[in-house]
Amino acid sequence: MRGGRCPCRAGATGGVPRALCAAAPSTFPVPLPLMRAMSDETNLPAANPLRGVFWMVVTGLLFVGVIALVKWLGTRVPAPQAAFLRYGFGLVVFLPVLRPLLRLRPGRRIWALFAVRGAMHSMGVALWFFAMARITIADVTAMGYLAPVYVTLGAAVFLGERLAVRRLLAVAAALVGALIILRPGFREIEQGHVAMLFTALFFGASYLMAKPLVQACSAAQVVAVLSVTVTIGLAPLAAANWVTPSWGELAILACVAVVASTGHYTMMLAFRAAPLAVTQPVTFLQLVWAVALGALVFGEPLDPWVVAGGMVIVASVSFISFREAQLKRRTLTPPVPATKV
């Protein structure tokens, strides 16, 4: 990566869009050598839908593993502190790029965007850990699918992206899916549900901010700065109610960082192997596995309404991605895993 330019392909079929290279690994840092390998245009394979589906299935399993680890962690360690420790372990991954990061000389506007994005992402991460410990795995997974919908709406409001009638209907259908999950008036809406609504909103805002940043800096710099700013942003929240973690709890959070980083690497392999319109619908399997995990391992009740609402949201996001591919526009709506914690 030279001259602050991201070498990722801009919306090419089967390639990795620039915004995805910058934003997708941002929640789970990916080592720089892997990022370089993923973004090398000369090594991009021909489109292979079956391979893309396979890697997206693996990605879903890994992210469900992350959810299981955080659920296992429990509530003894406060959510902001757990998120802070998780990102602290993630910074270890970025040790090879921290020295070049010191030579980064963007303007004030870019630094301001970095700071705001870090604050947004910090809130999203803390709220996700909070929700994960208080509501079912299925609820967290299904409501997390809303983040790409927020990105689509935000792109229209802040970036001037045109929303055709069919895309507006898809967004409306996704919001109906959220109502199916929450069912206000028919079930108790807990604090974790409200937290997940804002989690998706903050992650969507963070994803949108990656677009101008990746145009000014390399993908590695954008990802590394986010990891640093989120760790800094979570520090005062963690210090305000610090609980000394046990060695077992530290081990769990370290495993979260490793499993999550691996998940984003396999996600990039899926993006390289097949178009987003092919891999996006596969993300619904993650909800199936999340429901099974919650029921079989954690004894959570099976709620068919949550599954139904998740299906509606995933179908809506998949349709938006399909329309963008049909119109051959630069990918704007992110894949579901790209906005995960």
Each residue's pLDDT tens digit, 232-278: 999 999 999 899 999 999 999 999 988 887 887 787 788 777 766 66
Decide if 1 is inside a domain.
no
What are the CA-CA distances from residue 331 to residues 324, 334, 338 (Å)? Answer: 7, 7, 13
Decide if 57 is inside a domain.
yes
Decide if 44 is inside a domain.
no
**Which of 30-44, 64-78, 310-324: highest mean pLDDT?**
64-78
Decide if 7 is inside a domain.
no
Residue 182 exposed, middle or buried by CB count within 10 Å (0-12, 13-18, 19+): buried
- Does residue 171 have a pLDDT over 70? yes
- Does residue 33 have a pLDDT over 90? no
Q: How many domains does the chain have?
A: 1
Which pLDDT band holds residue 338 (cuts at 50, 70, 90)?
Answer: low
What is the distance between the alpha carbons of residues 193 and 199, in angstroms, rounded to a whole number?
10
**Which of 5-19, 38-52, 156-170, 177-191: highest mean pLDDT?**
177-191
| E strand map for the chain | none
Which pLDDT band holds residue 333 (cuts at 50, 70, 90)?
Answer: low
- Print the domain residue range for 157: 18-33+49-339
Q: What is the pTM of this model?
A: 0.72
pLDDT reported for residue 196? 92
Decide if 130 is inside a domain.
yes
> Taking a C-beta distance cutoff of 8 angstroms, is the pair 9, 41 a contact?
yes
> Taking a C-beta distance cutoff of 8 angstroms, is the pair 133, 70 a contact?
yes
Decide if 235 is inside a domain.
yes
Interhelix angle for 284-296 vs 137-144, to 10°? 170
Sign of CA pseudo-dihedral 273, 161, 207, 8: positive
Decide if 194 is inside a domain.
yes
Decide if 3 is inside a domain.
no
Residues contacting residue 127 through CB under 8 Å, at least 6 positions apart: 79, 195, 196, 198, 199, 202
